[in-house]
Amino acid sequence: MKFAASGRLLGFVGLSLLVQLPLAAPALAGSAPPAKNAVIEQEAQTHPMYLGTVTGGVKTSDEYTEGNFSIVAPVWSTLGADATLSGDVIYLEPYTSWGERGEVAASLGLGWRHLFGSQSVAALNQHDAPQAGFFDEGIFIGANVFIDMLDTEADNQFWQLGVGLEVGTRYVELRGNYYIPLSDRQLAEETRTVETIQRSSTSASQSITPTGALYATGNSIAQNAVFTTTATTTVSTTTIERLFRRYEEGMEGWDAELAVLIPGLDRYFDLRIIGGYYSFDNQPFGPQEGGTGNVEGWKTGVEIRPVPAVILTGTWYEDERLTGSDWTVGVQLQMPFELGDLGDGKGFWDRIGDAFTPRRRHLVERLAEPVRRQNAAIKVANSVDTETHADTEVKRVTKVTHRNGRLVIADDIIFVNNGGAVGNGISQAGPAETGAAEQPFNTIQEGADQAALNNAATRRLWTVYTQGAGAHGGGAYNESVTIGASTRFISSLVPVVGPHGETFGSGDRPLVQGGFAGVNTPVPIVAPLSFVSVAGYEIAGGYQPQNSASKLVPGVALGDDNAGIMLRNVSRVEIVDNVIHDMPWHGIVARRDDAGNLSILARGNHVSDAWAGIVVSGNADLEVQITGNTANNNLGGGIDASTTAGVISGVVSGNTSLNTANGAGFYLSAQTLRVDVLANQSNGNRNGISMEGGFIDGDFSGNTVNDNWESNIYIAGGGFTGDITNNTASYTAVNGIYLALSDGFTGNIAGNTTTNNFDIGFFIYAPTFSGSFTGNVSNDNGGDGFRTEIGSILIGPFNGNSASGNGGANFQNLGAPLANP
């Protein structure tokens, strides 16, 4: 295809020469020997001039280089026919270019130019004439039409039509071109790619199937099991096929430029300054990298002719996509193409020599120059289409493996056993005692000391597991255990539960004939004592510091000697399911003498025959969960929680306190009480339930308080926010429910029953009452059934209550009026 284009170019050139030769023949025939005469001069001056040129050159940039060749071949002319430099010329212009990437362009143009002038033909020979005026050499106009062909590097052939106009004088030229594509879009490149992406993920799950009972081994409780691992590997293979097509398409657009010849220098050589604008609808001929948007912008350049035959050019483009770079430079050689005499007596070869001589050029010579168009005949745009198809295949492979192993249920355990082998892995203690199941200690104190040492070494919490007496033998642990570091004490009564509900433990509760005690000192002797848990023991007799056998810490003697469990300045305490009895002092004591906070869980303990059952006290905040305990037959009190400066928060529920001779069944005291008191029973005590605080916030519900010496329920303090509901208070020696507040009450009092109390059934003293007082019953009391002393602010219903058979008034109001009492 590229060779065909070159052949067409040679045809264009040949056609021009064939047309030119007949026209030049008269001039050749009329020429005479060297002598000149007036007749011969007159014929030369009146003969039409057929001015043509042959031009070849190279243009280049940092991205692209091309060579070009063109001919301006006049086919009809009246230029100079009347002995003046004026007239018309019609010419053919064949053009071809070769790009470095194999692109070949060819064009054939038909053009017309007319020179309006009055100078004599002889002016062509006046190279030393004075500086010409703006219109001295006349003005020319022109029009042209081109048919262009481009054979691209992709072997696509494009055709387009181009039209142009031009006008100029010696010093200024203005020209413009418009380009109209004639060919459709054509495929330039097609590429198919296949990409495979593989992703793999594995998810694993493990199931455990026990194969036997739980047993003790080393310092752990374990269970033999089959470990089944199911691993599923999912492999996802995605195949992506992409079809890439690049198309080429001719572009419609235009360009225009203005060229100015610099006066003065034109006596020696031509220097033109050129400026213009271009606009195309996509990327043009030259380096192309995919489709782009409109290509448009300014351009400016310079053209220098040091001699008429040599043309040096340089151009800058605002939008570099026009040529692939924002600059181009070029060099061309332009030879005259006139064989006849122009009246100067020079022939063809003389004019060739004259073209390489610096001189002034005449405007008429520009009528033989090629049309100024873009350096490529056709501007080609790229567009890209991409088709993508993806297919995903998923494959899953599951692998199941079984492994026999040991499942550790609990770890970091020190075993204590003073009887024979238990049969669950705990052996009988012997000469070599390490605390392992196979070599247990025979005293709790040895276990406590070893746990403290292990705690300091590993910084982990260790457990002392105490085996109680049972079928395997054994007996009471006669010792006062001193705790040297944070430790959890559990007994064989407390089941250790496996993952499938299996349990470890003989169910025997060990008897400690003595007690437990620990003090957290500012500088720990072994390790910090911040947590203690005691669960599942029977404790009798009380802790005696002189009986402590600890080899690490001295016995604790701080005023709570003879208590069953005594802990000082320990921040977190758990006392669960212990039986504590026959104590010279309290059953359970947890105190903070310093300014630290205390959190205590006391659940399911039974404390009897002590001075007080459970005593919790401090100087800062207390967080309490006291639930399900029994405190019976204790002389000084049942359950007592108090702090001198701070808040008591939490819950006291489901406890029973019976038969305390000198104290309250329940006593709570703090500057702020945020405690729910729920479903407790308090019978046969001095006071049933006593709450004292600067501010009380909580619910007081479902409590049964009977047969106490003084008030069954006594609540006194600043203000109370909460509900008092569904409580029963009967057979007290004083009042059933006594509520005395200095700041007021906010909440609901409903569903309470007070009967057979010696004095008032239900007494309320408060400066304000905001809430409701409904559905309460007060019968058969020795004094008033309901007595209210409420100030001037009363908000809410105060009705639906029942009172009968009381020794005083059923309803005695000494304050603000009540609504339907």
**pLDDT of 14 above 50:** no
**Residues 429-446, mean pLDDT to the nearest whole number:** 97
**pLDDT of 15 above 60:** no
- The confidence band for 8, taking pLDDT boundaries of 50, 70 and 90, is very low
User: What is the maximal distance between C-alpha atoms in the chain?
Assistant: 170
Residue 10 or 72, more confident? 72
**Residues 792-819, mean pLDDT to the nearest whole number:** 85
Please give the pLDDT value at position 386.
79
**How many C-beta atoms lie closer than 10 Å to residue 25's C-beta?**
12
Look-up: residue for tokens 């004088």?
169
Please give the pLDDT value at position 49.
86
Q: How far apart are CA 682 and CA 664, in angstroms?
A: 9
Q: What are phi and psi of 637, to 5 degrees?
A: 160, 165
Which of 272-281, 283-292, 546-555, 636-645 shows the lowest per-residue confidence on average (mean pLDDT)?
A: 283-292
SS3 44: helix
Residue 101 or 327, more confident? 327
Q: How far apart are CA 216 and CA 665, in angstroms?
A: 42
Extended strands (E) in 352-484: 380-410, 413-416, 462-466, 480-482
**How many C-beta atoms lie closer than 10 Å to residue 44's C-beta?**
21
SS3 182: coil
- CB within 8 A of 411, min separation 6: which ones? 219, 220
Please give the pLDDT value at position 3.
38
Q: How far apart are CA 148 and CA 337, in angstroms?
A: 23
Q: How far apart are CA 481 and CA 576, in angstroms?
A: 17
CB–CB of 157/192 below 8 Å?
Answer: no
Please give the pLDDT value at position 16.
40
Please give the pLDDT value at position 289.
44
- Dihedral Cα 430, 432, 436, 441, nearest 10 deg: 60
Pairing of strands 728-730, 380-410: unpaired
Instruction: Give percent of the chain above pLDDT 90.
Output: 66
Please give the pLDDT value at position 185.
82
- The confidence band for 41, taking pLDDT boundaries of 50, 70 and 90, is very low
Please give the pLDDT value at position 818.
63
Cα 541 to the center of its chain, rounded Å: 63
Which of 171-185, 282-296, 802-816 shows the lowest per-residue confidence on average (mean pLDDT)?
A: 282-296
- The confidence band for 286, taking pLDDT boundaries of 50, 70 and 90, is very low
Closest among 803, 795, 800 to 763, alpha carbons compared? 803
Q: How far apart are CA 814 and CA 225, in angstroms?
A: 75
**pLDDT of 123 above 60:** yes
What sign for the dihedral angle of Cα 439, 440, 446, 452?
positive
Ranked by mean pLDDT, the top range of 2-6, 451-455, 708-712, 797-801 is 451-455
Residue 193 or 351, more confident? 193
**Residues 134-157, mean pLDDT to the nearest whole number:** 90
Residue 525 or 221, more confident? 221
Which of 282-296, 393-407, 743-757, 807-821 shows the lowest per-residue confidence on average (mean pLDDT)?
A: 282-296
- For 506-536, the pLDDT digits (tens) are 999 999 999 999 999 988 889 999 999 999 9
Q: How far apart are CA 681 and CA 607, in angstroms?
A: 15
Ranked by mean pLDDT, the top range of 147-156, 281-290, 392-401, 801-810 is 801-810
Q: How far apart are CA 105 and CA 67, in angstroms?
A: 10
Please give the pLDDT value at position 497.
96
Please give the pLDDT value at position 341.
56
- The confidence band for 376, taking pLDDT boundaries of 50, 70 and 90, is low
| Beta-bridge mates of residue 750 | 725, 774
- The confidence band for 353, taking pLDDT boundaries of 50, 70 and 90, is confident
Helix (H) / strand (E) containing 29: helix 2-30
**pLDDT of 20 above 90:** no
Cα 316 to the center of its chain, rounded Å: 47
CB–CB of 508/470 below 8 Å?
Answer: yes
Please give the pLDDT value at position 46.
61
- The confidence band for 814, taking pLDDT boundaries of 50, 70 and 90, is confident
Q: How far apart are CA 373 and CA 375, in angstroms?
A: 6
**Residues 90-102, mean pLDDT to the nearest whole number:** 90
| Beta-bridge mates of residue 704 | 681, 728
Q: How far apart are CA 127 and CA 256, in angstroms?
A: 31
Q: How far apart are CA 81 and CA 67, in angstroms?
A: 37
Please give the pLDDT value at position 310.
95
Which of 154-158, 309-313, 540-544, 656-660 shows the lowest per-residue confidence on average (mean pLDDT)?
A: 154-158
- For 406-435, the pLDDT digits (tens) are 999 999 999 999 999 999 999 999 999 999
Which of 48-62, 404-418, 549-563 shows the lowest per-residue confidence on average (mean pLDDT)?
A: 549-563
What sign for the dihedral angle of Cα 351, 356, 359, 365?
positive
Pairing of strands 172-181, 186-217: unpaired
- The confidence band for 102, taking pLDDT boundaries of 50, 70 and 90, is confident
**Residues 726-730, mean pLDDT to the nearest whole number:** 97
**Residues 145-174, mean pLDDT to the nearest whole number:** 91
- For 672-683, the pLDDT digits (tens) are 999 999 999 999
CB–CB of 601/574 below 8 Å?
Answer: yes
- In eight-state DSSP terms, residue 376 is S
- The confidence band for 307, taking pLDDT boundaries of 50, 70 and 90, is very high
- The confidence band for 346, taking pLDDT boundaries of 50, 70 and 90, is low
Q: How far apart are CA 325 and CA 318, in angstroms?
A: 10
Instruction: Give percent of the chain above pLDDT 70.
Output: 90
Please give the pLDDT value at position 745.
95
**How many C-beta atoms lie closer than 10 Å to residue 222's C-beta?**
22
**Cα within 13 Å of Cα(74), Cβ side:** 28
Pairing of strands 511-519, 728-730: unpaired
Please give the pLDDT value at position 383.
66
Pairing of strands 87-99, 65-77: antiparallel
**pLDDT of 315 above 70:** yes
**pLDDT of 105 above 60:** yes
Q: Which domains does the chain have, with CATH numbers?
A: 2-185+251-376 (2.40.160.160), 188-246+389-404 (no CATH), 412-591 (no CATH)
**pLDDT of 623 above 90:** yes
**Residues 249-269, mean pLDDT to the nearest whole number:** 90
For residue 194, the one-letter residue type is V
- In eight-state DSSP terms, residue 611 is S
**pLDDT of 28 above 60:** no
- The confidence band for 344, taking pLDDT boundaries of 50, 70 and 90, is low
- CB within 8 A of 121, min separation 6: which ones? 45, 49, 80, 83, 84, 85, 342, 343
> What angle do the packed helices 38-46 and 2-30 form, to 10 degrees?
150
Look-up: residue for tokens 């007082």?
773
Which of 288-297, 480-489, 559-568 shows the lowest per-residue confidence on average (mean pLDDT)?
A: 288-297
Please give the pLDDT value at position 379.
56
- Dihedral Cα 248, 253, 258, 259, nearest 10 deg: 20
Rg (CA), the chain: 59
- The confidence band for 343, taking pLDDT boundaries of 50, 70 and 90, is low
Angle 90-93-366 (CA atoms, 0-180°, nearest 5)? 65
**pLDDT of 242 above 70:** yes
Cα 442 to the center of its chain, rounded Å: 59
Q: State the chain's mean pLDDT as an integer.
A: 88
